[in-house]
Structure 1
Amino acid sequence: MTKDKLPHRRLLPAPGARRVGYSSKRVVQVAAERMETQPRGLRVLHVVTASMSVSLMRGQLKFLREAGFEVAVAAAPGEEFTAKARAEGAQPILVPLTREMAPLRDLVALFRVYSILRRMRPVIINFGTPKAGLIAGLAARLSGVPCRVYTLRGLRCETARGLKRQLLLFTERLACACAHRVVCVSESLRQKAVSLRIAKAKRTVVFAYGSSNGVDAGLFRPTVERLRMAMILREEKGIPKDAPIIGFVGRLVADKGIGDLFEAYLTLRGRFGDLRLLLVGEFEEGDPVPTAIRERIERDPNVTITGFVKDTAPYYQVMDVLALPTQREGFPSVILEAHAAGKAVVAYRATGTVDAIVDGVNGILVPQGDAMELAEALSTLISDRGLVRTMGRNGQERVEREFQPMRIWSALANTYVRMLEEKGISCAGIRLEKAWPCEAENVQEALR
């Protein structure tokens, strides 16, 4: 009998574990102990680095719980993490994960995750985002979790250079080596991971047409209320009613091409006098936009920076076109959101964007790093409202047809069942609908 097939034994909590605080000297284990006292079920633990990443799994955890799994989610402490997890019916667990490299803190996090796994004894662990992939992957392998899944949502190494690139490549390879399945959120990302020898092709899978969690089109559809809110936002930001607006939604960092976007905007300002640039997001210190460019952006009176926004839906109705000159993606959800909102998108031809945009149908793809081509594509759409409407409508239809969240949830749950059955673990209590045809084929391909 292999280590992965060893039967799970119930482990008692450590003495005094009821008094637990979030500090460098104690293991955060209240949630794990709480699950330990419950009757045994098929326990699934999802681990991400940042608490805000739980939003990437909205609806997914609830679907798994309703299918019969016992679900927990672990992440670094953050605003509303506990509430979001419990809204999904998942048990929240705090672990000290950080996005950037921090060797000592990472070692502490590894020990804590390992300790939590030894107490929880999940049958499945799904780790995503680079740091969680490395730490949770190692901890899961060391603790003998039977079924290990790595959700690959992007490759930071694509835009890194020198020693940092080599280190990121090593950590991604190690995370993938710890997993039985590597779920890639897009086909182009899968191909990139295989070509960089990060993951073996036979272990990789893409569910349906890709994306991290699909998109609920109804949350972004241009309803009367959202259009009314968009008009109010225009007035609040002092934007003239007929002024064309280029929009961006996401983190304001160098990898997202903020510098190129600002350059394209400056090029177009001479052609469109009232042109506005709407940046829905906030600047971050990790991978920062060059200081000189950031200062020019912040001084420009025709550039609006919203800061962090909980509900981006109304902002899509403010803009005329979405721009995403990103250097790399896994599968950009903002493109699906913009399409659901009826907006055309211009993006760089990068990993992930090529899966989200059908060039010339629901948006325009331009060569990566070419700010002049980016400006020309944006100019084409700003000048042709009819083309924008056609592309927006095409995008809406594709989102509603191919990117329903249920496709991803169904494929993931069926993958879990197949993996458990491979290990000889009974799934008698799991209630699942038959997988959608497209992802059923993909899952079967990955299992060969």
Structure 2
Amino acid sequence: MKVRVVHISTSPLFLNFLRGLLFDLRERGFEPSVVCSPGELLDRFVRETGVAGFGVEMPRRITPLRDVVALYRLVILLRRLRPHIVHAHTPKGGLLGTTAAWMCRVPVRIYHIRGLPHLTASGVKRLLLHWSEKVACRLAHRVLCVGESMRRIAVEDRLCPPDRIKVLANGSGQGVDAERRFHPGRFTEVERERLQAQLQIPPDATVIGFVGRMVRDKGMQELAHAWQHLREDYSHLHLLLVGDYEEQDPVPAWVQQTFAGDPRVHITGWVSDAAPYYAIMHVLVLPSYREGFPNTPLEAAAMELPVVATRIPGTVDAVEDEVTGLLIPPRDAQALEQAIRRYLDSPALRQQHGKAGRERVLRLFRQEVIWEAWYNEYVALLQQRGILSVEEHAR
């Protein structure tokens, strides 16, 4: 039996998280497809992977009229595709995806909690976000969480009963390809020097790195404050920002001006492969206010980099304090600065935590383990719903 599974998300950027999983499912005889907002990123993903892709405009922000249109289009699409499984990701994708799947009577509906934006929202927006999470959880047969800390919050906030929500394997959004893509030996010294030259980073520089969306919730204000002090005390220090600004959660103008006006700050914009940039960093920082289960600390750890991150749900699953990195309070620029100084002043500590981080990734977060857990969960749910027999699973 060819099992049809549709993954739904608002942003095409999310598709890279699914790439390996979709290949694995296809090899196991599934027929995967993806739905997200249209654009060049979706078109490129379809060309590169051969996975069927469908564009439905789904703004990440709250837009009631456009959301109703998106829901209508999703219903029409799902009635045509007739999937056995709908697996919805991200808050907006989760709400629209599970609702459309419920309306179309899709046999297996899954909502994947990858973050809880209501935790840092306030007022009416917080209520709406909380409500949307609760509805998505209510309409799903199974709710998956990327990490144990996120699952605890979802249960405590009564978003989902504890018997319906689970973490697969050891958590994380997708695991890490630590054997090939994120391997510290992948890049030669010549390749590293060439990339540094392209970015105008001197070969003897010490590089602090950040990888991700450059928005307020990622703690860019605290990073800018810390950088202003650190750059004065460490003349060979450079800051590498791998990502781009976004309109939805903009940083203050002074933060952009601080970074743009500094020749020792290097902004790459969005990149499809961050691995070469990790290879020229000495420390990764992630001063976020909220996360689900961030993959960048795992990628950095696989590259033997220590990580400075905030002690919040999600990052506490990705970073082991004083073992693979340093955890600090959120919204605390001074604590961020002091943690970075510890690594700058102690190359031995950087190496110790970096090696421990890679060992932890290899032990707990291999992609193959995550993919196997997803597949087994799909099969179990299909069997529970009477769609797949035990004999078919064995084949």
TM-score by length of 2: 0.95
* CA-to-aligned-CA distance 1:322-366 (integer Å, 9 cap, x gap): 000011111111111101111000001011100011111110101
1:360 aligned to 2:316? no
Whether the 8 Å contact between 1:226 and 1:313 is mirrored in structure 2 is: no
- Residue equivalent to 1:135: 96
Q: CA deviation at 1:148?
A: 0.6
- Residue equivalent to 1:78: 39
After superposition, the Cα gap between the structure-2 partners of 1:250 and 1:302, relative to the gap in structure 1 and judged at 3 Å, is: same
- Residue equivalent to 2:192: 230
1:419 aligned to 2:381? yes
1:111 aligned to 2:72? yes
- Residue equivalent to 1:305: 267
For the aligned residue pairs, the C-alpha RMSD in angstroms reads: 1.6
Which one has a bigger Cα radius of gyration? 1
Q: CA deviation at 1:303?
A: 1.1
Match of 1:325 among 287, 295, 320: 287
How many Å separate the matches in 1 of 2:188 and 2:214? 24
Whether the 8 Å contact between 2:224 and 2:258 is mirrored in structure 1 is: no
Whether the 8 Å contact between 1:58 and 1:213 is mirrored in structure 2 is: no
State the AA in 2 paired with 1:100. Answer: R
Whether the 8 Å contact between 1:68 and 1:429 is mirrored in structure 2 is: no
- Residue equivalent to 1:37: none
- Residue equivalent to 1:21: none
How many Å separate the matches in 2 of 1:149 and 1:392? 35
- Residue equivalent to 1:148: 109
State the AA in 2 paired with 1:64. Answer: L
After superposition, the Cα gap between the structure-2 partners of 1:338 and 1:431, relative to the gap in structure 1 and judged at 3 Å, is: farther
Q: How does 1:263-412 map to 2 (within 5 A)?
A: 263-412=225-374
After superposition, the Cα gap between the structure-2 partners of 1:80 and 1:296, relative to the gap in structure 1 and judged at 3 Å, is: closer
* CA-to-aligned-CA distance 1:115-142 (integer Å, 9 cap, x gap): 1122222111100011111111111111
How many Å separate the matches in 1 of 2:222 and 2:130? 26
Structure 1 gap ranges (5+): 1-39, 433-448
- Residue equivalent to 2:16: 55
1:68 aligned to 2:14? no
How many Å separate the matches in 1 of 2:317 and 2:32? 30
How many Å separate the matches in 1 of 2:153 and 2:220? 24
Number of residue pairs matched by the alignment: 393
TM-score by length of 1: 0.85
How many Å separate the matches in 2 of 1:99 and 1:261? 25
Whether the 8 Å contact between 1:67 and 1:431 is mirrored in structure 2 is: no
Judge which range, 84-93 or 389-398, deviates more.
84-93
* CA-to-aligned-CA distance 1:367-418 (integer Å, 9 cap, x gap): 1221111111100001111111111111111111211111111111111111
* CA-to-aligned-CA distance 1:200-220 (integer Å, 9 cap, x gap): 211111011111110101202
* CA-to-aligned-CA distance 1:249-272 (integer Å, 9 cap, x gap): 001000000110111111222321
How many Å separate the matches in 2 of 1:161 and 1:226? 48
What secondary structure, in the 3-state scheme, does the structure 2 residue paired with 1:73 have?
Answer: strand
- Residue equivalent to 1:9: none
Structure 2 gap ranges (5+): none
Whether the 8 Å contact between 2:210 and 2:286 is mirrored in structure 1 is: yes
